[in-house]
Amino acid sequence: MSAFSGMTSLNPGYRALVLGASGGIGGAFAAAIKADPACGSVTELSRSRDGFDITDDAAVGSAAAQLSDADLKFDLILCATGALVINGNGPEKTIKAIQGDVMAAQFALNAIGPALALKHFAPLLSNDGKSVFATLSARVGSIGDNKLGGWISYRSAKAALNQITRTSAIEIARLRPKSVVVAMHPGTVDTGFSGGFSKGHDRIQPAESVAMMLSVLDRLEPAQTGGFFAYDGQPIEW
């Protein structure tokens, strides 16, 4: 397992915000950050604990406003939301299986949701030193890396998320030149999210994936903002 030694590139006593903190990866993110002696506080939001619905513009805005009203700024924001199976509908194996409502649900949760998070929570990024906003993407969202086909709705939603992250990074950097806004591929993580669709892939535990991703985020510099990276630090083609 890759050891996470702490976020040394952020200000001492840094504040972190984890969106989707009740999920397998989100929960592991929160646990790892809480164990970091350099972390001052961790704020967690999730649907199951707080009723936080990332697909609801008003709800996301309200949650951000409450944090803003409390004069909170964050050095690290992790958007660990998303799903492969939504309302019992898994990834399609063929274009013939596409259903408009199923595809719309994928885009709502996996692309529009993180876009709303960037819209409302990016203004809460600290401008005092390096700050990080990471979205949870997937390698299957890479157009250039797509050699197998299938999973059209999920792939397309993650590709859209990558574009959203890239475009947001450019805008955010204008006001926060020390920001790092990136999309991260967590690997094939052993959670309920991917358990039924990970045959043929080496699965890693949430804590290991998170430790590696946090180490990558700690090493990334503002010049690398807008990038798409795997949990091992390797850049992924768009």
Q: Name which of 122, 142, 50, 49 is nearest 79 in CA terms.
A: 122
- Superfamily of the domain at 14-230: NAD(P)-binding Rossmann-like Domain (3.40.50.720)
Q: Where are the domains of the chain?
A: 14-230
Let me know: does 61 contact 115? Beta carbons within 8 Å.
no
pLDDT in single tens digits along all 238 residues of the chain: 456 889 999 999 999 999 999 999 999 999 999 999 999 999 999 999 999 999 999 999 999 999 999 999 999 999 999 999 999 999 999 999 999 999 999 999 999 999 999 999 999 999 999 999 999 999 999 999 999 999 999 999 999 999 999 999 999 999 999 999 999 999 999 876 554 555 555 789 999 999 999 999 999 999 999 999 999 999 999 9
Residues with Cβ within 8 Å of residue 103, at least 6 apart in sequence: 152, 153, 156, 157
Q: What is the pTM of this model?
A: 0.94
